[in-house]
Structure 1
Amino acid sequence: MKKATSLLRLLLLILLAATTTGVYAGQFSVQCAYSHTKPDDSIVRYGLPGLAMQHDFFGNRSTDAFSDLAKLNVNKATTCNITADASAYWVPQLKRAAGIVVPDFQKTYYQKNTELPVVTAIPQGLEMLAGDHHGTAANPAIAYFCQNVGYMANPPTSCPVVNGNAQFDIVIYFPDCWDGEHIKPDFSSGVQNMAYHNNKDGSCPEAYPIKIQQLQLNLQYTLGNNGDLNGAQLSMDPIMVNGVLTPQWGSLYTAHADFINAWKPDSLQYATDNCSNNGNTACSSDIPTYYVKSSSDTWLDSGGTPHNADEKLRVGPGDIIFMKFPTPVITDYTYQTAFIQTQGGDVTDSTAVYLYLFAAATNWDDQNKPPTGSACTPQSVGAIYLDNVNKLRINSIDAYVKQQIAAKAPEIAICIKNNTSKVVELNSREVKKGVPALFLK
């Protein structure tokens, strides 16, 4: 790993503080509970179970010494709060005087820290490492955190007990510039497939031209009412001592992490397009596992006249909005709840309105056969709360969507009526962003 100047370290700490306490444009995140511990590392010691340091694993529950994209895709069960993320994340095991500390979870922020250049979705199966497992000093890619203390470049010897509990975090920044050729590092030839961006302008080195999201992995450890970290260590690769494979331990400066990308490709592309490269948009964990845009939409005015090509779908007193979607094709990625995604708001005044969503017939389209008012059925399937802010919203229509999927219906249609005196406008599929969509996560 490259040596950094003290100035670079200072810049990193400023960046860490800003990123973790604030929200950057173009950011989304995933939180993955601790899954399991194994002496395996499929990036550095592929196919050699038991010969690596003890690692704590997060995300894909099947990760072991044989894991690669193909293996991870066989078993997509994940501990992550975004079910579309079947990736593998792992870190060395933490030990202190009181014993082994099992992490609570890791939360990874997928960041785009400069407006330009735009980022490319992380390639499927990309394998990355961050940190230095032989480190002996502060590293610009690593920071440490204690609750009520903040971020620091050097490991603490203790964290304060706050409300009966001490919290310790390790923060690890991954490189974000890919060489465009090697999906994994090649240790036999010394080829590194990843590099860090230039801190001054966000640009990538010439040999690593592909800018991807930068992963900021945050490990959280609960230390209970004993915040002592004096002499705390992280696992290192075992060595043979008198014919016995013997575990080794290093200081907290040896912090590092590994990652194999196994996101559902279209979900990661959604996050790249709608979060990373969509201006001042912070998506948090609102990333769909299944996402389909409307295939037809229109609105009928109170006189029954269709407005098929408008960029805004309008619903005032007596108006009806219609939206139709292809039924999502469900594969082996799980999801919990089905939502409808819309963008818009109340355009009458600064108050808010509550509108009901109804099931609609599907025997219409916005090109040749617009719907009539009778296509909007009395079957209520959800509701939507809209204030006067023009923003993306997701609202549950879970039972109806699952019913239509179970019935193998090829299409799902929704209509919106307005029994208030207000006027609401939503984006139609005629615009590029914020179009109506089914959003399953």
Structure 2
Amino acid sequence: MAAIGSATAVARELGISAGTAGTWARQAGLGSKRLPHPRKAEYVALRKEGHSQSSAAAQVGVDVRTCRDWDYGTVKRPNGRRYADGRVVDYTTGEVTIGDVVLRPSTQRIAVEKQLHPRFLTVEDRERIADLYREGCSLREIGRRLGRPASTIKREIDQNKQDDGSYRPFAAQRRAAEQRPRPKASKLATRGRLREYVVSKLALQWSPEQISHTLKVEFPIDESMRVSTETIYQAIYVQARGGLKREISDALRTGRTRRKPHRAPDARQSRFRDPMIMISDRPADIEDRAVPGHWEGDLIVGERNKTAIITLVERQTRYVMLGHLPAGHTAPEVRDVLTALITTLPGHLQGSLTWDQGSEMAEHKKFSIETGLPVYFCDPASPWQRGSNENTNGLLRQYFPKGRDLSIFGPEDLELVAQRLNGRPRKTLGWETPAQRLAKLVLAD
């Protein structure tokens, strides 16, 4: 590194990350000096020739965001950026400094007339809102004239209404501009009563949700003692937001150091393009096994999930059928093999099929059209809803151990294993075999 002079350049030559190279340099007692990017001179030359930012970035093979920093004279820092006009933005605290002067958000130079995305209100929009509001127009009428939802107009007036009830457009525009700069400091990034309260309750192993709601109860009037559940989680988990020490995460019940996203079952995105019929909509006569001909299905997979076998179990008789998947277990392949298995059965034994939400059933609608069988899907992570099939898959592992290449088993091997399982007497069947029970159903038709 002493010869090259830059940890970043050394990292490029060795094919390692710049952070790793910098750590090695510090451990070796070498200072780390940042050299110009090797393609920056080429990029600057292309810009002088009249090339656009995106075109020049593409030609030199550098990300356009890096080229934008070169154009604006922005320098990246460990916790923020230094801009060409001397401003230094600290992403941890949200402070902006010029030299020794700290610019708070309220004293930053803000562009009141800056052109923003059309979804934001402009100063002209606010002037029209003020005029129409003085004329006594309703919120819906103002929204119609501006092409905005009435809720936007209501929120704008409520947030910027003066003590005398008037709405002043330029004051509202200045307030919006002052709130615009990012990043904003977290409520828990500075010391104070709110932060001390949150830390003390976390030490008692309260959850962030309990803390957030208890604040409203204990301090019903003090608006400064408010913090959302998400803000507390960000202060613990997200280093860029800062505020609380990572050690505090040990007080959380889960002990996680990262946030795990959750989504309500009714808010989950559908797994397949075609709508699923959930198991909750399955008729009661299927649930209590009163009517034969209803099947549970699944795959047992082999080494590295590359090979698989289809398993079908009839709910009343526990009769097993196995499907051979020699080439793979994609949705079309599973659909074709399932169709072939089901069509070998008598009509009165073709009732329904229950499956989990595996991707192999993406073509369930086509399968239902071809066979006439409705397919019911279990809830996520609910294997007990296919209890007979899960139990059978456990028995099949005696013949098809986990980690084996299942493609070596041909149709004859699968038929032999199915016959052995169907020939075993079952306690739940009064010590009859599944084959005997199924034979009675076939003969009774």
- Relative to the length of structure 2, the TM-score reads 0.20
User: Which protein has the bigger helix share?
Assistant: 2
Question: Which structure has the larger Rg over C-alpha atoms?
Answer: 2
- Relative to the length of structure 1, the TM-score reads 0.20
User: Which protein has the bigger strand share?
Assistant: 1
